[in-house]
Amino acid sequence: MSNKNKNKIFKPRPISGFLEWLPEVRLVELQWLDEIRDAFESYGFGSIETPSVEEVEVLVAKGGDADKEIYALRRLAAEPGEEDSSRLALHYDLTVPLARYVAQHAGDLVFPFKRYQMQRCWRGERPQEGRLREFMQCDIDVIDMDEVSMHFDAEIPAITLEMLHRLDVGPVCMHINNRKILQGFYEGLGIEDIVGAIRIADKMDKIGVEGVLDGLVEDLGIEEDIAQKCVDLAAIKTNDETFAAQVRAFGVENDMLEAGLEELMFVMLELAHLEKGSVMADMSIARGFDYYTGTVYEGKLVDYPDFPTICAGGRYDNLVGSYSNKKLPGVGISIGFSRIFSKMIKEGRVKIGAKCPTHLMVACLPGTPRCEVSGTARALRDRGFKVEMYHEEKSLKAQMKYASRKGIPFVWFPANSEQPKHEVKDMDTGEQVVADLATWLP
């Protein structure tokens, strides 16, 4: 680094796909994160964090689309051929790190292992609405030895909906399906390339009914009436367990289909106590190429139907199996925190207030000995208030302007020679009253 360069000014600009908030927005973001943590913990889920990086082999072990979005690390001053850092890459979700964590630490964990994880993830994709390159994700998952209770398949969306309700993001609908229904139905229809067919049907949102029919018939050589049944299945959406009768009405007979219907009915019945419209059995949900093997979830903001999915997940029987010989199935959900929060900010649905957490500013006026000011601040802090002293020796006007611009609700004037009692000013009403240091309450 030359000295010449040191004196140059580099004018920074926002980096596309990476969020950064002003302090007043960050204050609300912190409240949201606290609320989420509290919701997860109220159901006994415990926190874990994993490193931001995994070995590249771990990240690509499950296969799938995400590979090409992975950010690998390279030391800026790497020697040619330096291997060490190039085998590390930033994680793109929290599910793969969880699977690796459980495989690695299985002997030290108590099962069923219930964890939440709130961390940043990174994807090198083209930024667009709802798609970020760095984002905070909040996940809950349950992993158990050999078998996971189906009750968790119902509890996971219930916790998620309760948490989103606490954040006041407006109505949310959790669309629920079961991969066994799709797989069994397609199998029962005699379709050979089931993965290929699900892949095409899953694009309904993008290519429409005609596109899906064309794809099934032309790309996979499926007969038209069979293809039509696939499309008709995807149209079944009910707020209760009546979807099963509609599916059975096709007359497709298959054991896996039946198992899927039973599982989804179980989940829908367990969630029957939730607010009407907050859960929907939706036969169009497939979750793409992912590792899911049973229940699948996709949550949507009802007020913004075109906005991408805000949370998604499901049951996976084999994910930990990429890293371990043990059978460790799981079920969980990922909540796109940054996606939801930035949408609510953009729509003006978040109330932005103060620019700092301070409850009280202690003013520092001429005539008040400094030790009196700092002693007052300390006494209020000891009582649990968030207190700052005004340190500059500036006019009362400048100090009040600072408190007002920061949104500090109260200003405290310590006793001094001219004013024998403490006084406190309510910045909202402008009222200033005598106050007792030991007993004052806002």
In the complex, least distance from residue 229 CB atom to a second copy, rounded to whole angstroms: 28
Asked if 199 interacts with a second copy (CB under 8 A), we say no
* 411: helix, strand or coil: strand
Contacts (CB under 8 A) with a second copy, residues 307-366 = 321-325, 355-358, 361
Q: Which is nearer to a second copy, 90 or 257 (CB)?
A: 90
In the complex, least distance from residue 121 CB atom to a second copy, rounded to whole angstroms: 10
Asked if 305 interacts with a second copy (CB under 8 A), we say no
In the complex, least distance from residue 100 CB atom to a second copy, rounded to whole angstroms: 5
CB 309, CB 319: distance < 8 Å: no
Paired residues of 176 in beta bridges:
281, 297
d(CA 77, CA 213): 53
User: Quick one: which segment of 100-108, 168-176, 208-216, 430-438 binds a second copy (CB under 8 A)?
Assistant: 100-108
In the complex, least distance from residue 25 CB atom to a second copy, rounded to whole angstroms: 10
Binder among 35, 93, 106, 109 for a second copy (CB under 8 A):
109
Q: Which is nearer to a second copy, 58 or 189 (CB)?
A: 58
In the complex, least distance from residue 421 CB atom to a second copy, rounded to whole angstroms: 24
Binder among 35, 60, 196, 250 for a second copy (CB under 8 A):
60
- Residues touching a second copy: how many (CB under 8 A)? 103
Contacts (CB under 8 A) with a second copy, residues 403-422 = 405-406, 408
d(CA 156, CA 389): 46
Asked if 85 interacts with a second copy (CB under 8 A), we say yes
Asked if 77 interacts with a second copy (CB under 8 A), we say yes
Asked if 128 interacts with a second copy (CB under 8 A), we say no
Nearest residue to 181 via CA among 250, 133, 98, 80: 250
In the complex, least distance from residue 223 CB atom to a second copy, rounded to whole angstroms: 27
Asked if 207 interacts with a second copy (CB under 8 A), we say no
Burial of 46 (0-12, 13-18, 19+ CB in 10 A): exposed
CA 363: distance to chain centroid? 41
Long-range own/partner contacts, residues 69-75 (CB < 8 A, 24 or more apart): 69/123, 69/124, 69/125, 70/123, 70/124, 71/122, 71/123, 71/124
In the complex, least distance from residue 182 CB atom to a second copy, rounded to whole angstroms: 20
d(CA 391, CA 361): 10
CB 190, CB 227: distance < 8 Å: no
User: Quick one: which segment of 71-79, 229-237, 247-255, 278-286 binds a second copy (CB under 8 A)?
Assistant: 71-79
Asked if 43 interacts with a second copy (CB under 8 A), we say yes
Paired residues of 335 in beta bridges:
138, 311
Q: Which is nearer to a second copy, 64 or 211 (CB)?
A: 64
Q: Which is nearer to a second copy, 231 or 274 (CB)?
A: 274
Q: Which is nearer to a second copy, 70 or 437 (CB)?
A: 70
Residues 6 or more apart from 437 whose CB is under 8 A from it? 376, 379, 380, 422
CA 224: distance to chain centroid? 41
Residue 166 to residues 36, 38, 39, 40, 347: CA-CA distances in angstroms?
Answer: 8, 10, 9, 12, 18
In the complex, least distance from residue 157 CB atom to a second copy, rounded to whole angstroms: 15
Burial of 148 (0-12, 13-18, 19+ CB in 10 A): buried
Asked if 131 interacts with a second copy (CB under 8 A), we say no
Asked if 292 interacts with a second copy (CB under 8 A), we say no
